[in-house]
Each structure stands twice: as C-alpha cells, then as structure tokens.
Amino acid sequence: MRKSLELAAFTLLLLLTALPAFSQSCALCYTQAASAGARMIQALKSGILILVIPPTLGSVGMIFIVHHKRNQVRRNECGDEPGQDW
C-alpha cells in the first residue's frame, strides 16, 4: 500500500514539474512558423515526424530484443533448451 502511494506521489510530482518545460520554445522557430504559409507549416510537421519516427522504432525494437533475450536466458537457466546461444 505504501509503495503504491509513493509511486503515485512521484508520478504526480513528475507531471507537475514537466509543465514549465512546455512553455519553453525557440523564439526563432515560433516566429518563423507563425509567419509561414500553409506549405511551410506542413513541411515543419513532416520534418518533426521524420525526426521522431526512427528513434521511436529503434527504441521499440531494442525493447523487443531485450525482452526476447531475457526470456531466452531464463529458459536456459531452467535447462529447458540447452545449446541455444545468441
């Protein structure tokens, strides 16, 4: 019970301290985006996606590999499948 209460308090603290970070932005980027036309805004959105998608996919892939490897090591410790190495 106490551990879940501490986790909830930590999560709430983390969420509240992240709010000031949302107010910080590059003034040059903001003025350029505000004065740009619809094509430039679409190009900015596409650029953001291009910069976000590869690291996200890489992170998901690494999580999958680590999870698979962890389960493989656990099976080998039990002696279920000897001889399978990475």
Q: Kindly report the three-state secondary structure assignment for every residue of 45-82.
A: HHHHHHHHHHHHHHHHHHHHHHHHHHHHHHHHHHCCCC
Q: How confident is the model at residue 79 (pLDDT cuts 50, 70, 90)?
A: low
d(CA 41, CA 45): 6
At 21-71, the pLDDT tens digits run: 555 567 777 787 778 888 888 888 888 889 989 999 999 999 999 988 887
* Least confident piece of the model among 9-18, 40-49, 70-79: 70-79
Domain range list for the chain: 2-78
Q: What is the pLDDT of residue 37?
A: 84
pTM, two decimals, is 0.46
